[in-house]
Amino acid sequence: MIEYVLGMVFDPSREHLLMIKRHIDPYQGKINGIGGKVDKDENPTKAMVRELKEETNYDLDKLSIFEFIMTVNFKEDNSKLHVFYMKTKEKYPIEVRYSHEGTFNWYNIKKHNLFDAQDDNIAGEGSIAFFTKFILDLKN
């Protein structure tokens, strides 16, 4: 079974999400949350901390919230996705960052339509919209 982590990183106002616009597959050209595969020697929390650091150069001390939210099981490809909610202490503490995987930037949730599960510019076949709404509803 392959396991993945996905971090939904909000700014303090919870009006913006830190996302990657992917330059490579999977989801080339689409925006997605922070994350990746869980290595064999890791648990999901350790993997999320590692992915956050690798992709954004960000440590946990810059976050006011780091919380596991849920695990989703995908029977069709025998995989799991572990979803985490994070909130930064400061507004836009991470500048635009470029990597071989894509460009990391802050996206306004309403302006960029991140609640729209049908938006073809967003990765995850509607899951980003679901997780965004779920976290905002859960954590009011």
* pLDDT 10s digits, 33-66: 999 999 999 999 999 999 999 998 889 999 999 9
Task: Look at the chain and report how many structural domains it folds into.
Answer: 1
pTM for the model: 0.93
Convert the pLDDT of each residue in 81-117 to its tens digit. Answer: 999 999 999 887 666 677 888 999 999 999 999 999 9
The CATH number given to whatever domain includes residue 106 is 3.90.79.10
Q: Yes or no: say if 72 and 78 are a contact pair by the CB < 8 Å rule.
A: no
Residues 63 and 11: their CA atoms lie apart, in Å, by 9
